Amino acid sequence: MRFISTVRSASSRLKRALRPVLGPARAYLLTMFRRRRINSRPQFEKLARRNDIPGMKDIWVCKFLVVDIDGPSPMLFFMNTRMYEHHFLYYRRVTGRAISEPDFDAISYYSNAGRKNLAGSLVAHDNYCDDKHPHGIYSIDYWPTDPVSFTYVALTWDLITEAMPFARERIVYHLSSQTQMDQFRTERALYEGSPIRWIDTDHLFSNLTFIPLNLGDSYGILKIMNEDEIPAFRDIVIFRSLPNDLSHVRGIITDVPQTPLSHVNLKAKQNAIPNAYIKNASAKEAFRALVNKPVRFTVTADGYQIEAATMNALDDHFQRVAPHSTRVPAMDMSQTTIAELRTVSKGDSAAFGAKAANMGEVYSLLPDRHTISGHAIPFHFYDRFMQENDFYPVIEAMIRDKNFAGDIQYMNRKLEEFQKILCKGTVPEWLSTQIREMQDCYPDGTDLRLRSSSNSEDLENFNGAGLYASGVHFHHHGPIENDIKKIWASLWTYRAFTEREFHRIDHSQIAMGLLVHQDQKNEQNNGVAVTRNLFGSIHKGLYINVQAGQSLVTNPDVDALPDELVVSAIGGDKEFEIQTIRRSNLVPAGQSVMSETQVIGLIRQSRIIHDHFKTCYQAEDDETFAMELEFLTTTDGDLKIMQARPWLD
């Protein structure tokens, strides 16, 4: 044993003695076999991996590393991105240098002083098209918080364009964050005198010809429609503009860009159907030749495919995807009085609906300046109104009508007729008394926002985005009950009925509550936020769509595009970095809808809501959990959270 111990000790001493020699020799040998050049697209894809980046999902990304930039011979390496997710681990492997991750970060990111490395990514934007680049581009992207100077951008440019001859004319430098835009502005004259091609995020997205919003494969009858036309259950629809109301369909294509938080895409996610922006789709002969015919439509990260199909294939597909068991929503009729919102909590959703209940929960979490005060009208009021007017038998007879299920125009007409009948119904006096007492709680002349809060929306597995009505009761427009009846009647629109029908939600067990609060006037902006970084699972953050004034993000005005932001905790001290993916076209060029201070305020309140509801929904171990929030900024500059529901991913 003593002999073995002596040998081990000698071996250790020898390794320590040879380390100064073996380390550099090992590093030299490794550099000889690491990829220093990419000669073709197949070689690029062999090294790259599918990644989510801000604004895009499942796009080809190949990471690169330039080492020893402070010396006479900088070296470029294209990383095997499938094997190495982090630059730090690759650096240690390829150089053989023992270094801690904080020390590597200090010489690779955040500052141009003392920098020894450049760490970034090459991103293949295959669906980019402009006059100079009709077949896509490859962008050089650095870490968003990295203020890379012109000197180092130029070095990277020279090395990569030389090492990727097959794509040399399609390589651009992408200014991917505010940090890099600020650095660029201070050195713009240097760029303009160089061969470097650059692009900002606005121009990148405005020249994309295809954006997959929701991946999927589906069958249906292809239709081209305007926003006010009614699609059928089995249609795959090309919309020339984004529809504000959308009934159940089997696929969505739009001529105009969408964002992931539009009601159109939320519906696509809920129903697991393909959804894509395809530039000028309605004018493409490949689509027009298949209009009114059965087709198969597939959306992948790489592109889309549409081809003729048979009715048998369509029928088989529908049988596979349609739910087979009936779902009965929770419904508690024991709450017989209108409640102040501050007294309602998530546990009351079976009596008031998830929208009102969740907003009561938010009220208890945040400071008053960030919440809405108001009232919740329970399901009981809707139920008593329906019973007093004998409307339930009318619904049953309508659904039993043999023509109702087989003819969409007939179904739509009968449902519209029933809504008119319902709106003429009489509200029992004892219900009207409570409603007027609620209204008297607000100052004279107050206009009230009336918002649907049914038992078939805002749920974990069924968000019902945009499915039911909301509206404003203007104080000088007669009794408030007339407007409340319109919200109750929205349970029976064609789009609401067909959505529930597909999901096998029992129509006899639905009810409508209301969330009531003072109407906000002339807000600075409004938006939707998801309390998770949808494009980077490693770092906490938010994804935000926000629009100026009262042009809605969820149901946008024709051709209106919001600011699209990704907030990620990617700074050196885990501080949040704000990346602008796309800017609103309703504000002056180069300006943002929200100030940085306003975004930071939204981040803080969103984290409180996220952490609280993660516990409420018993999702502590679910890293994909997120809340979807609707918000606005008042004329006084106060952030108000207007809605909170689970994000459906």
Instruction: Give every CB contact of residue 211 below 8 A, 6+ residues apart in sequence.
Output: 56, 127, 257, 258, 276, 277
User: How far lies 426's CA from each of 381, 432, 515, in Å?
Assistant: 12, 10, 21
The answer to whether 291 and 218 are in contact (CB under 8 A) is: no
Ranking 8-17, 65-74, 179-188, 369-378 by mean pLDDT, the lowest is 8-17
pLDDT tens digit sequence for 395-437: 999 999 989 987 888 999 999 999 999 999 999 999 999 999 9
| Helix/strand/coil for 178 | helix
Report the topology of domain 525-646: D-amino Acid Aminotransferase; Chain A, domain 1 (3.30.470)
Going by pLDDT thresholds of 50, 70 and 90, the confidence category of residue 34 is low
The answer to whether 274 and 217 are in contact (CB under 8 A) is: yes
Token duo for residue 216: 């999927």
User: How far lies 37's CA from each of 84, 94, 142, 387, in Å?
Assistant: 17, 15, 19, 76
Token duo for residue 616: 């409420």
Closest CA to 174 of 209, 128, 219: 128
pLDDT tens digit sequence for 110-145: 889 999 999 999 999 999 999 999 999 999 999 888
Burial class (CB in 10 A: 0-12, 13-18, 19+), 181: middle
Question: Is 70 exceeded by the pLDDT of residue 57?
Answer: yes
- Specify the CATH architecture of the domain 339-518: 2-Layer Sandwich (3.30)
pLDDT of 20: 54
Query: In CATH terms, are 210-321 and 339-518 the same topology?
Result: no
Ranking 195-204, 267-276, 529-538 by mean pLDDT, the lowest is 529-538
608 half-sphere exposure, CB direction, 13 A CA radius: 15
Closest CA to 355 of 435, 452, 469, 466: 452
Sign of the CA dihedral with 139 first, then 143, 147, and 149 last: negative
559 half-sphere exposure, CB direction, 13 A CA radius: 2
CATH code, residues 210-321: 3.50.30.10
Question: Is 60 exceeded by the pLDDT of residue 7?
Answer: no
- Count of H helices and E strands in the chain? 20, 25
Largest CA distance in the chain: 102
pLDDT of 583: 84
Question: Is 60 exceeded by the pLDDT of residue 267?
Answer: yes
pLDDT of 71: 92
DSSP state of 170: G
How many Å apart are CA 393 and CA 386, to the nearest integer?
10
The stretch 177-194 carries a mean pLDDT of 93
pLDDT of 339: 98
Ranking 484-488, 603-607, 645-649 by mean pLDDT, the lowest is 645-649
How many Å apart are CA 405 and CA 532, to the nearest integer?
40
pLDDT of 518: 95
In the chain, what percentage of residues exceed pLDDT 70?
Answer: 92
| Partner residues linked to 252 by β-bridges | 237, 275
Rank 90-99, 290-299, 396-405, 590-599 by mean pLDDT and report only the highest: 290-299
The stretch 344-353 carries a mean pLDDT of 95
In the chain, what percentage of residues exceed pLDDT 90?
Answer: 64
Listed by start position, the domains of the chain span 1-27, 34-198, 210-321, 339-518, 525-646
Instruction: Give every CB contact of residue 143 below 8 A, 6+ residues apart in sequence.
Output: 109, 119, 120, 570
Q: Report the DSSP pairing between strands 275-278 and 251-254.
A: parallel
Question: Is 90 exceeded by the pLDDT of residue 77?
Answer: yes
Going by pLDDT thresholds of 50, 70 and 90, the confidence category of residue 32 is very low
